[in-house]
Amino acid sequence: ETGVTQTPRHLVMGMTNKKSLKCEQHLGHNAMYWYKQSAKKPLELMFVYNFKEQTENNSVPSRFSPECPNSSHLFLHLHTLQPEDSALYLCASSEDWTSGTYEQFFGPGTRLTVL
Amino acid sequence: GENVEQHPSTLSVQEGDSAVIKCTYSDSASNYFPWYKQELGKGPQLIIDIRSNVGEKKDQRIAVTLNKTAKHFSLHITETQPEDSAVYFCAAFGPYDKVIFGPGTSLSVIP
Q: How far apart are the CA of A107 and the nearest CA of chain B, in angstroms?
A: 5
What confidence score (pLDDT) does residue A20 get?
97
Interface test with B, best of A45, A54, A98, A105 (most B CBs within 10 A): A45
Pairing of strands B105-110, B10-14: parallel
**What's residue A31's pLDDT?**
92
Higher pLDDT, B95 or A63: A63
Alpha helices (runs of H) in A1-115, residue ranges in sequence order: none
> Mind giving me the DSSP string for A41-55?
S--EEEEEEETTEEE
Tell me the shortest Cα–Cα distance from A106 to chain B, in angstroms. Answer: 6
CB distance B43 to A109 below 8 Å: yes
Residues in B closer than 8 angstroms to A42, CB to CB, are 4, 89, 100-104
CB A25 within 8 A of CB A94: no
> What pLDDT sits at residue A115?
92
Res. A100: pLDDT tops 80: no
> What does the pLDDT read at residue A1?
59
**Percent of chain A, pLDDT > 70?**
97
Beta-carbon contacts of B104 under 8 Å, excluding residues fewer than 6 positions away, are: A42, B6, B9, B38, B87, B88, B89
Alpha-carbon distance B92 to nearest alpha carbon in chain A (angstroms):
11
pLDDT at residue A73 tops 80:
yes
The reported pLDDT for the residue numbered A52 is 79
Mutation test of the interface with chain A: which of B46, B89, B98, B105, choosing the one with the most A Cβ atoms within 10 A? B46
- pLDDT-derived band at A51 (thresholds 50, 70, 90) equals confident
pLDDT score for A101: 64
CB pairs < 8 Å spanning A and B: 44
Residue A61: partners with Cβ closer than 8 Å, 6 or more residues away: none
Q: Which of A50-59, A63-72, B7-16, B86-95 has the lowest average pLDDT?
A: A50-59
Could you tell me which of B103, B2, B95, B88 has the C-alpha nearest to residue B38?
Answer: B88
For B19-33, write each residue's pLDDT tens digit: 999 999 999 989 999
Residue B58 DSSP SS3: strand
Residues in chain B, pLDDT under 50: none
Nearest Cβ partner for A43 among B41, B49, B89: B89
Q: How far apart are CA B29 and CA A11, in angstroms?
A: 39
Secondary element (H or E) of residue B23? strand B19-25
Strand partners, A24: A5, A73
CA-CA distance, A37 to A46, in Å (whole number)? 10
Flag whether pLDDT at A93 surpasses 90.
yes
Contact between chains at B43 and A90 (C-beta distance less than 8 A)? yes
CA atoms within 13 A on the CB side of B86: 20
CA B11 to chain centre: 13
CB of B32 within 8 Å of a chain A CB? The answer is yes
Instruction: Tell me the pLDDT of chain A averaged across its residues.
Output: 91
Q: How far apart are CA A92 and CA A104, in angstroms?
A: 6
pLDDT of residue A75: 97
Q: Do B46 and A103 touch (CB under 8 A)?
A: yes
- Kindly tell me if the per-residue pLDDT of A58 is higher than 80: no
Identify all chain A residues contacting B104, using CB atoms and an 8 Å cutoff: 42
B contact test, residue of A106, A110, A111 with most B CBs within 10 A: A106
Per-residue confidence band for A113, with pLDDT thresholds at 50, 70 and 90: very high
